[in-house]
Structure 1
């Protein structure tokens, strides 16, 4: 797994007004958490943080504070502005060699599904897997091969197996499917509705016929 160095500056835990001022100056407030250390409030340059947030790969980040040894961490949670979608806060969790860690790893689809060649479409339901592993085994991404999927087939969590990694997602979770084109789905739905209508039409005719017979008897 790639390791990235990120220059950080310690700060006092402050109020919302102070955090807004940081953001106006292109700086993002962050918190570092670890089992063995007190939380550390710090800030990083937004321009340096963005490539680590908007990425399809996972990284171990070496937080570098002035006159201190780098601290290994991963980005655990990121908060975004609901209007601008800019990063407004990030949580970092400490990484200790030899200790298992929970982390999200991006999924990388490989191969060309058989079902796509038949006109189907690949539908990805989740884009990251929750996994548990040692820091040295954290991959940048996890490859999932869809080559053998036909239309209607799916890959579930239980179908995946990666060396040195425990997947934490539920076994029944669907990761990737190959689905029929939307036009075919609509056509099938229309045929089902038509079949239902035809199925109800005959009893109406029979009922009408019986009513006519009764009227004739009365006459």
Structure 2
């Protein structure tokens, strides 16, 4: 997984007055949890644009002025209810030998057969929660929808997960192809249905009567 470096300054005071002063100066107060003690720091609001305003996910290296570097992931973020400015960010420190849980975006590839026949693709889960060691966290989870027909559902069990564990139940749906008014029947499905009907008709047809002996 790609990493983003955030250059910050350690906060000496964490009171309301100092927090307000930071925000007025265009900075975001932050905290890193998960280590021996919480690390309070601040950074310019613009420093978070590639971390927050993107569908991608990244690990974060918080680099402080005293030379301290902490590897972490974004855990929680608070926005102003009116202006949508970032008010506060919580990070969680990660370690190479400890598994971490993250929401990883789903990337759909392929052109669904059902969609080509007029069906509508509905994405149920755009991100999946996975658990893995930091070095095994994927940038995204690729899902091939090429063979999905109208009415088909893609479950999380279809995802290859050798290096990470998906933290959803097996019946969780990633996406599905729904029918629509413009949908047309799949040619292969029609052939299968016709074959089944022919077999059933042959099985139900009465046996020919043997000619009467004279």
Counterpart mapping for 1:57-136 below 5 A: 57-136=56-135
Distance in 2 of aligned mates of 1:20 and 1:120:
52
Distance in 1 of aligned mates of 2:135 and 2:74:
16
1:50 matched to 2:44: no
TM-score normalized with structure 2 length: 0.78
Unmatched segments (≥5 aa) in structure 1 = 186-219
Going by fraction, where is helix more abundant, 1 or 2? Answer: 1
Compute the RMSD of aligned alpha carbons: 1.8
- Deviation string, structure 1 residues 94-140 (Cα, Å, up to 9, x no partner): 11011111111111111111111011121111211111101111111
Unmatched segments (≥5 aa) in structure 2 = 184-214
- Deviation string, structure 1 residues 29-70 (Cα, Å, up to 9, x no partner): 111011x42111111211111210122222121100012231
- Deviation string, structure 1 residues 144-185 (Cα, Å, up to 9, x no partner): 11111111111122222222000112222211111223x569
Q: How many residues align?
A: 182
The change in CA–CA distance for 1:117 and 1:95 in structure 2 (over 3 A counts) is: same
Aligned with 2:148: secondary structure? coil
1:19 matched to 2:19: yes
The change in CA–CA distance for 1:83 and 1:178 in structure 2 (over 3 A counts) is: farther
TM-score normalized with structure 1 length: 0.76
The Cα shift of 1:90 comes to 1.2
